[in-house]
Amino acid sequence: MKNLILIILFIFNLRPLFSGQNIYPLDSEYTKWAELLPKIKILKKQYPDLVKWEILGKTATNHFPIYAINISDFSTKNGKPKIIIIGQHHSEEPVGIEIAYSLAETLCKRYNLQENITNLVNEFSWWIIPTINPEGMYYFQNGDYDHKRKNNSDTNKNGKFDLKYDGVDLNRNYDFNWNNNDHFSPESRYFPGFSSKSEKEIQIISKFMKEKSFQLAYFYHSSYSGNFSEMIFFPWKRDNVISYDYHKMLDLAKIMQQKLPKDYEKSYYKIYSQDFAKRSLARDFIYANCGTLAFNIETCGIKNGIPIVFPNNKKMKKIVRKNINAIFASAESYYENLTKITVVDLKNRPLINEPYIFQNQKTKYPLHKTNDFGSIYIYKNREKFVKIRDISYSINDTIHTFIKK
C-alpha cells in the first residue's frame, strides 16, 4: 500500500508535465541566470569570427550585468543594417530568454551550412540581449515567486527587498508617453516608476538603442493574464491615427504571422488591430526616437482557459523554433525590399548621426538619423524625397550618394 501511495504521488506531481500545464519552478532546460554567461562564452569560443559580446551596464540594486551578444560577419564593415532582440523585460516571462539565446546559437551553428542563415549573418549586425531584467530573472528562476515581474528597486522605501512588492515594471519606464501610464501605486505589478527612465536598466538600454540606430527590433513577452496571448503588436494605431510606418510594419507582421501557428488552436498569432495602449513601452520608444520598425511578440498560448506561460521543455522548444523562423522570414523580407542611401559631404566623408526627415512625413515622430557609416535604410521605398537640414534630395534607386551643399 505504501508503494502504491508513492506511485500515485509521483504521477500527481508529474501531471502538469503530461497535461501541458504550467510548471514552476521551471522545467529542466530553461536557462538559469548562473548559466547565461558561461553559455555566451562557449558560443564565443566555438565561433570566434561570428560572435562578440559585451556588458552594456549593471543594474542599480544587485549590480547584475546586462549582456549583449553581437553576431555578424565582422570581416566586412560597410554599415550593415542592425537588428535588436530583447528576450525579457518581465521576469515572469522566461520563454523570451530561450528565444533570444537559441537565435544566437542558430545563427552561428547554421552559418555556411544553410544559405538563408548565412545571408542573414552576412547582411545584418544582430544584437541579442537575453534579458534586461537580470535581477528579476534571478529570483524568478530560483523558484522564489512565480508572479515576480519587476526589477528589485526598493520602491516602498523601507530599506529592504520585499520580493512580492518592490520593483518597477521596466516596460513602462521608458521616456516616451510615461505620463500616460496607470498603476502608479508602488505595490502594483505594473508600477512604472516614480519618474520616466528612473531605472538603471532603462537608462542603459535606451542609450544603447539611440547609439546603434537599429532598423528592426523584436521584443518578447508572454501574457501571464492571457489577455494578449499569441499576439503581435507594433507602433501604433490610436484614435484612427496610424504611425508613419504603420503599413510597413503591418507587412512584416503578416510575414511573421504565417510562421506562428498557435500552441493549442488551429489558427495563427493575431495581429493586434485595435487602438494600441499609449504607455511608455519599448516598441513605441525605439520607433519614436530611432525610426526602428519594432515588434512586440506575445508568445505562449491558452489551454483549457489557462495561459501556459511556463510550458514543459518540449513545448517550450516548439515555441522557440517557430518564433526564430518568424524572425528569419521577416528579416529576409526586409532585406529583399531595402534601399540604402549614403549621405556624404563635399569631401566624400560620410555624415554620421545626421538628422533627416522624409519630405511627406507630416508627424514629429519618428525621429531619424543616419547611422555610424552615414547610411539611411528605407524598407519598401515609397519615399520620393528626403530632407537633410534645409535641403531636399530626390531618392533614386540608382543614385545612392548625396552631396551636402
Q: Provide the pLDDT confidence category of residue 391 given band limits of 50, 70 and 90.
A: low
Question: What band does 396 get if pLDDT is binned at 50, 70 and 90?
Answer: low
Sort 209 into a burial class: Cβ within 10 Å, 0-12 / 13-18 / 19+: buried
Q: What DSSP character marks residue 86?
A: E
More confident residue, 275 or 25: 25
pTM comes to 0.92
pLDDT tens figures, 329-352: 999 999 999 988 888 777 778 888
Question: DSSP readout, 96-164?
Answer: HHHHHHHHHHHHHHTTTTSHHHHHHHHH-EEEEES-S-HHHHHHHHTTS-TT--S----TT-SSS--TT
Beta bridge partners of residue 66, listed in sequence order: 57
CA quadruple 47, 51, 52, 58: dihedral sign? negative
3-state secondary structure of 343: strand
| Rounded average pLDDT over 268-294 | 92
Domain 12-336 grouped into CATH 1.20.120.420 = no
Q: Tell me how long the chain is.
A: 405
The rounded mean pLDDT for the chain is 89
Within 10 Å of residue 164's Cβ, how many Cβ atoms?
A: 11
Residue, of 404 and 86, whose pLDDT is higher: 86
Out of 76-85, 159-168, 301-310, 388-397, which region has the weakest mean confidence (pLDDT)?
388-397
- The whole-angstrom separation of Cα 273 and Cα 373 is 36
Closest by alpha carbon to 341, among 396, 405, 292, 391?
Answer: 396
Show the cell assigned to 265: 488552436
**169-206, pLDDT tens digit by residue?**
999 999 999 998 888 899 999 999 999 999 999 999 99
pLDDT, position 175: 96
**pLDDT given for residue 354 in this prediction:** 87
Contact between 220 and 95 under an 8 Å Cβ cutoff? The reply is yes
Tell me the percentage of the chain whose pLDDT exceeds 90.
Answer: 73
Query: What does the domain layout of the chain look like in residue ranges?
Result: 12-336, 339-403
pLDDT at 20: 52
Whole-number pLDDT of residue 279: 86
What is the mean predicted confidence (pLDDT) over 306-315? 96
- DSSP symbol at 212: H
For residue 334, what pLDDT is reported?
97
Cell representation of residue 296: 512586440
